[in-house]
Structure 1
């Protein structure tokens, strides 16, 4: 029955309608959200997620991939639902082997015996889209043959129709359609999942990663046999090893857990902070470890991409947080298509600032898994409540980051992510892969008050209205802020020159120059200290005044 279009569409659409009715009835019968109502609400969502998982494994096809896709969308679903979907494993009952072999023969336009001498009877892995068999080429070389499941494209096309109906219902009978761009979301879903149906695309991704990491010590991407690979069949080198999280294998081969974890960390931070492709499904089944400690990365069906422009926008967004410039943060979010058209930018900007201030006020000396989980949870809650819709690549980026953290803590529970991450972040913000670094932009922004001093003086002296306006003291302090910067710079220059004079006098034995240099440098240093104290106090008053005005 699962191959019949009418049956599949009916089951899928009915399940979603049932979920919507349960949510509607619950909200209608629970007007007041006390602790008891919240517990019942979370219980309802958990039961719905479990039913979805069960139905996915029964029908196979798109529901499994759709569930994995939804598990990345913190902007769409509540955390309790996401948690259940995270455990949706892409393993299904295998297709009868003779059917898979017929597909291989059809793709190769000939008998299997013309290309391989042997193929095992049962697959070593079976997923919703493809199955993997171990085989041997004519020269005896062991290979892994990934073959597309029987009628899988037909099933996916049917399921896409069912989901189109579901999205149409969501857009018209729920408020969800106002928050999310469901049309764009559906197209994004079709585009992302359709890529996995074409093994030629996976081959292209694999070759990209192979070239990228060919010179990395301790990292390996298998060889692929392009002349045997088609749209429905993919042939690659057979890898002997175990999952990277296999403790017994690591122990038996005398491997160092910390070194393995560091290798995983370096491999994926390179992908997650740099422009280019990243592995979007880096779970332990796709990360293998050889007996010599070599890390092997496989299965590139699900990948994301960070474009150079996006990497620059992310860097500019971080710069906005550093400089307290939330207009720049909003502009970056807009360029990356994070904000929906109807988003209230002022509200989002205020919430971003409040959230950033909250974290900046905290203590991150102990930056462990619990802290990361709390941050991810807060981010999920934030994007779910706000008019933010994550593009697929960024959703997969977040999911990949979370999976890698899980792998790292499983391989090496004592992992210190802060220690390993600091050098990466320092290199990243320095702008090695861009024309300008954050440091240079920070310097530019810091110089703006100094460069605008003459204009500010003229404005203050000529605009008599400022003396009568309620902002008088604010503008005065802002003016003094620029004066402090100017005289601080001047004091620093005088200190440097006088120290040079003192040094010259000491070397040449000229006491008068030595005494003058020491005296002037001491005075200028004292002046610089006083200016710093007054400047710090002035910044505090300006900031406090800004917050009071915003309230």
Structure 2
């Protein structure tokens, strides 16, 4: 099986290389105008849009794995320019369904004959995606939804993941160091995510866990799984029909308050991410519906994520800083999370954050101000200093998709206000203020102690200096013997100078006495040789750089 996957991966690598060859040539010419020589060339917006269209067609041609990869890339502004993000945003996970005979074989391999496992089964799928498709059936007199993994998808995905891993060194040649960091994380994240999405047993566990977290919440509905008709490749669950969350006309006809719906959706995700630590990670409109009484139905928990306590704490600090319009606090939090480089231009990023906050609040922004900030960004940070660590990338992706759904429901939706209200109600803002007060108190206590300790010590030091009785003991770490080598060279230099002068004087006084001149010159020659060898020796003074690209990459991997 491993050999077959390898053979398939080699073949797929050639196919992928053929599909992306025009883009590889174009990017190479950006660095060298005539491929092998010449300067670089300027890439215009029109060129990026054309290339993004080529990339879109290539991803569609390459099939399910690369369609999923394109969807993930469409939410990663830290890797792709805005033109690519916009084009890939139209990429839909919508592929022709697999023939019924093939899906039936998967079903019967897991559950036995379809006629015995279910009371009735509709062989026409109600939805199809790159990794699986959903059918409607009857079980014990109730309608159920049956999710079946696409036949043969496992081998194809494993082969494609190897191709992506093999392609990474080539891709690194065309992007900056900051984006390379994010791309490596994305590759690891994508491999983990797509394998989890194919494991329906894990999806069922996540579904149950999130269902329990919202047991007392009547704003959402999660379908109940049916364990006895589920396995690794088949997931049977309660059938819950509803109105698609982006079907505005249908929602209005049912009299559903769209602003309240958007508010509930954001609050649900805030609880998942900030409080529970596990969240539904694919909230596009195809996976969200609305019941007639206004509750949100969640489908497809294959793509899910987890948030560790550190990231949860930093997300809360970020939201609080946004709510307080504390730009410095926002930047500090992003740097602590590893999203922004510590060397970022804080003035430029501060202007960007102020603009983003104003936009999120729906404030009127003068166009000249927008243009001014964009010019600052373009002129100072061509490589935008945004990096997404693996544990944060999926959170930001979800935030972006949820924002799109909320804006569709209510174009005037105020994200900051909803987040602020949620954090206040849950007591996070009070905790933040309490931490600040405790921090200030501790700092004040240390300062007060210093005020009593420092003056007497400082007075003693000044008295000794006034009496010319102040000595300083300096300890130098010299494990490599650098000072010894310098001292030897200094002594050699002094002897060489003395010997040379002595030889010249003897020769000037008695040029015919070559024996005396030789006797004086021989030691001088020996000293000169020793000094020359000390500079030529590979064991001389050398330093080892503590920060190089290679060891930085190694530290980053660790």
Report the TM-score, using the length of structure 1 for normalisation: 0.70
Asked if residue 43 in structure 1 is aligned to residue 37 in structure 2, the reply is no
Q: Find the residue that maps to 1:254 and give its secondary structure.
A: coil
- The residue number in structure 2 matching 1:542 is none
Asked if residue 25 in structure 1 is aligned to residue 29 in structure 2, the reply is yes
Q: Deviation of residue 63 (structure 1)?
A: 0.3
- Root mean square deviation, CA, Å: 3.7
Distance 2:356 2:189 in 1: 37
Cα pair 2:318 2:333 within 8 Å, conserved: yes
Cα shift readout 1:135-181 (whole Å, capped 9, x = no counterpart): 111x321111110111111111111122122113234x445467524
- The residue number in structure 2 matching 1:286 is 287
Asked if residue 113 in structure 1 is aligned to residue 140 in structure 2, the reply is no
- Paired residues for 1:388-427 under 5 Å: 389-427=387-425
- The residue number in structure 2 matching 1:332 is 336
Structure-2 change in CA distance of 1:58 and 1:362 (3 Å):
closer
Distance 2:337 2:252 in 1: 46
- Paired residues for 1:487-526 under 5 Å: none
Asked if residue 455 in structure 1 is aligned to residue 450 in structure 2, the reply is yes
Cα pair 1:320 1:328 within 8 Å, conserved: no
Q: Find the residue that maps to 2:32 and give its secondary structure.
A: helix
Report which of the two structures shows the higher radius of gyration computed on alpha carbons: 2
Cα shift readout 1:50-94 (whole Å, capped 9, x = no counterpart): 222223223322101111222232222212112222221100011
Cα pair 1:97 1:121 within 8 Å, conserved: yes
Q: Find the residue that maps to 1:274 and give its secondary structure.
A: helix
Structure-2 change in CA distance of 1:300 and 1:352 (3 Å):
farther
Report the TM-score, using the length of structure 2 for normalisation: 0.69
Distance 2:271 2:298 in 1: 14
- Paired residues for 1:298-317 under 5 Å: 298-315=299-316
- Paired residues for 1:139-158 under 5 Å: 139-158=140-159
Q: Deviation of residue 460 (structure 1)?
A: 7.2
Distance 2:222 2:164 in 1: 36
- The residue number in structure 2 matching 1:441 is 435
Structure-2 change in CA distance of 1:20 and 1:366 (3 Å):
closer
Distance 1:370 1:145 in 2: 48
Cα shift readout 1:423-474 (whole Å, capped 9, x = no counterpart): 1243567368xxxx2212221343466431463587579759x99xxxxxxx
Cα shift readout 1:459-513 (whole Å, capped 9, x = no counterpart): 579759x99xxxxxxxxxxxxxxxxxxxxxxxxxxxxxxxxxxxxxxxxxxxxxx
Cα pair 1:119 1:135 within 8 Å, conserved: yes
Asked if residue 59 in structure 1 is aligned to residue 53 in structure 2, the reply is no
Distance 1:75 1:384 in 2: 12
Equivalenced residues, count: 438
Cα pair 2:178 2:385 within 8 Å, conserved: no
Structure-2 change in CA distance of 1:289 and 1:127 (3 Å):
same
Question: Which sections of structure 2, spanning at least 5 residues, go unmatched?
Answer: 1-6, 463-558
Distance 2:363 2:245 in 1: 19
Q: Which runs of 4+ in 1 moved over 6 A?
A: 317-321, 325-328, 380-384
